[in-house]
Amino acid sequence: MLKMIIADDERVIRESISCLIDWEKLGVELTGLCRNGLEAYDMIIDEAPDIVLTDIRMPGMDGLELIRKVSLMDLDTCFIILSGYGEFEYAKEAMKYGVRHYVLKPCNKSLISDCIVDVAKDCYARKRTRSLEDGHFLLTSSMHHNIVSSVISESLGQNKALPEIIRSYEPYLDFYSTPYQLFYVFYLDIGSLKVFLQELKQYCEQTMLQVTIHGTYVHNTLLLFFKDYSADCGMLEQFIKQLSLPVKPVELEIQKETYHSLCELLEVILVKLKRFSTIYYLNNFHLLYTCNYNYLMSEAERLYQKLKAGSQDSFQSLSELLLGIEDTAFLKQLSGSLLLKASADNPAFSAINLTEWLFEIDGEADPAKLKSRILDHLKRLLLLPPKDTNTSSMIDQITTYVEQNLNNSGLTLKFISEQVLFMNVDYVSKRFFKEAGRKFSDYLTDIRIMRAKEYIAAGEKIQIIAEKVGCGNNPHYFSQLFKKKTGMTPSAYSDSLRK
């Protein structure tokens, strides 16, 4: 589901729009209403919305300045401009920043809805084709495969409800907000499976860039599922149907379904998977064989819980259990699950190290080296002494990164979450508010003002200070922000220090 905010200084307009539109039908979550550009800017820093519907003329910061500032950030936000007939020149100016959509006042429900539908297509296209660094995508994709395979295995092998199993993995993957597509491919003979996956890999590398494809295979049926970055999956369906396979007794049959979230999708397919004793999980277009390893998973979970409760003697028993597993694929899956849980439970551990460890384990082919690496990582993580601090490592990493990059005018919580922490921005936002007691945008503004006061006291020029605290080459905006937070202009504050 796409996130959207509305910015308009006229209360009746922003509230009327919020009430008139059937947001769920459009696949949009309305996350906030803003009275001006400054409020909208702060909310964009915190929430990283996909769509912003903004008025042109607003006090404090107008729509054009808001669009210009957001265009400098590492975001894929699409803007819709609300403008009167006499403001068309402003709309033309906004188009220099890539804005293609505007709604003329007065407007009606139908006009706004049509525009949002059109913008949503752009948003999904940007999500699908966004150019991420290959190394980052490989790391996160490998982690997400590990998470989904672990959730499936634990659901099949343990008597636990799915939400309870998911809870350990929520910091690293969105289970509740992102829609997913599910493809059932029926009558796919196991003798053709290898060729099918090779062809599918080539197709996805050419037409579904940066999309992680998950899947399971049971009894001549392949289930493929992935984030719904495109409303039209007809090309994938056509590709599958025209494939020439070595063993094809009957034509392949395709069934498509869309789910509001990964959790909802997993609830459906797990009911089907539990009927089978042999299951394959699709990991980067390679099959991982899973059998009835219920005892090993249950025992590993029991020992992990004892370790979590403080019984460090249980580590020896856990080590012996893992050393006795000869199935390399299952060992990688089980150990990956333990690492993910332990890192989520340990506030002193860095998520960056976790992604590197999982990637390293996934690429290790030698069984002896694999076991050695796994035990070394688990020992460092499970037997790590607790950190004496009131805040988690995640908050420490965020605040440290902000301190070191305060001059970056495009700093957002989304960038830090995905590029620095490798975590889900919604989870990080909630954790930050819970632990810090305020939104990230408020914290960022306070830090900038605090540093600005230090620079003013040192006698530095306003333009230089604006750049140093992340307001870019815009001393006017810096002065507005400073006055909003302190009640006085930078020059007045400077004069007060010298009285």
Average pLDDT, the chain: 85
- pLDDT given at position 232: 57
Together in a domain, 103 and 221: no
Q: Are 389 and 396 in contact (CB under 8 A)?
A: yes
Here the CATH number for the domain that contains residue 117 is 3.40.50.2300
> In the predicted model, is pLDDT for residue 34 greater than 50?
yes
Together in a domain, 20 and 123: yes
Between 34-48, 202-216, 261-275, the lowest mean confidence (pLDDT) is in 202-216
Together in a domain, 123 and 197: no
Whole-angstrom Cα distance, residue 294 to residue 300?
A: 10
The answer to pTM > 0.75 is no
> In the predicted model, is pLDDT for residue 147 greater than 90?
yes
- pLDDT given at position 388: 46
Here the CATH number for the domain that contains residue 211 is 3.30.70
Q: Are 322 and 375 in contact (CB under 8 A)?
A: yes
* Residue reference for tokens 């909003």: 484
Evaluate whether residue 441 is within a structural domain.
yes
Evaluate whether residue 82 is within a structural domain.
yes
Confidence band of 291 (pLDDT split at 50, 70, 90): low
- pLDDT given at position 195: 92
Last residue of a domain, one of 292, 312, 336: 292
- pLDDT given at position 469: 92
Whole-angstrom Cα distance, residue 464 to residue 203?
A: 51
Together in a domain, 97 and 199: no
- pLDDT given at position 258: 92
pLDDT digits (tens, 9 = 90+) for 383-397: 755 544 455 778 888
- pLDDT given at position 292: 58
> In the predicted model, is pLDDT for residue 406 greater than 90?
yes
Average pLDDT over residues 344-373: 79
Residue 106: cis peptide before it, omega within 30 degrees of 0: yes
> In the predicted model, is pLDDT for residue 131 greater than 50?
no
Last residue of a domain, one of 71, 97, 129: 129
Evaluate whether residue 383 is within a structural domain.
no
Together in a domain, 14 and 87: yes
Together in a domain, 9 and 122: yes
Together in a domain, 124 and 185: no
Evaluate whether residue 153 is within a structural domain.
no
Together in a domain, 123 and 182: no
Confidence band of 249 (pLDDT split at 50, 70, 90): confident
Together in a domain, 114 and 194: no
- pLDDT given at position 410: 86
Evaluate whether residue 334 is within a structural domain.
no
Evaluate whether residue 354 is within a structural domain.
no
Confidence band of 135 (pLDDT split at 50, 70, 90): low
Percent over 90 (pLDDT), the chain = 32
- pLDDT given at position 454: 85
Together in a domain, 208 and 121: no
- pLDDT given at position 499: 58
> In the predicted model, is pLDDT for residue 133 greater than 50?
no
Between 20-34, 180-194, 271-285, 394-408, the lowest mean confidence (pLDDT) is in 271-285
Evaluate whether residue 263 is within a structural domain.
yes
Question: Which residues, including other chains, have CB under 8 Å from residue 321's CB and lie 6 or more apart?
Answer: 296, 299, 300, 303
Evaluate whether residue 159 is within a structural domain.
no
- pLDDT given at position 385: 53
> In the predicted model, is pLDDT for residue 461 greater than 80?
yes
Together in a domain, 193 and 104: no
> In the predicted model, is pLDDT for residue 207 greater than 90?
no
Together in a domain, 125 and 185: no
Here the CATH number for the domain that contains residue 458 is 1.10.10.60
- pLDDT given at position 393: 76
Confidence band of 85 (pLDDT split at 50, 70, 90): low
Q: Which range marks the domain in which residue 114 is found?
A: 2-129
- pLDDT given at position 15: 92
Total domains present in the chain: 3
